[in-house]
Amino acid sequence: MTRVLMVCMGNICRSPMAEGMLRKALQDAGLERQVEVDSAGTHAYHIGSPPDPRAQQAIRRRGIDISDLRGRHVADEDFERFDYILVMDGDNYERVVARAPVHHHGKVRRLLSFSRRFPNLDVVDPYYGGPQGFEENLDMIEDAVQGLIREITSDPTRGRN
> Is 13 annotated in the active site?
no
Return the pLDDT at 156. 60
> Is 38 annotated in the active site?
no
**Which one of the listed residues 3, 8, 38, 143 is annotated catalytic?**
8
Helices (H), the chain: 14-28, 53-60, 78-81, 90-99, 131-154
> Is 76 annotated in the active site?
no
Return the pLDDT at 155. 72
**Which one of the listed residues 14, 23, 95, 109 is annotated catalytic?**
14
pTM of the model: 0.95
The Cα 64–Cα 55 span in angstroms is 11
The model's pLDDT over 39-74, given as tens digits with 9 standing for 90+, comes to 999 999 999 999 999 999 999 999 999 999 999 999
Domain boundaries, the chain: 2-154
The domain 2-154 having CATH identifier 3.40.50.2300: the answer here is yes
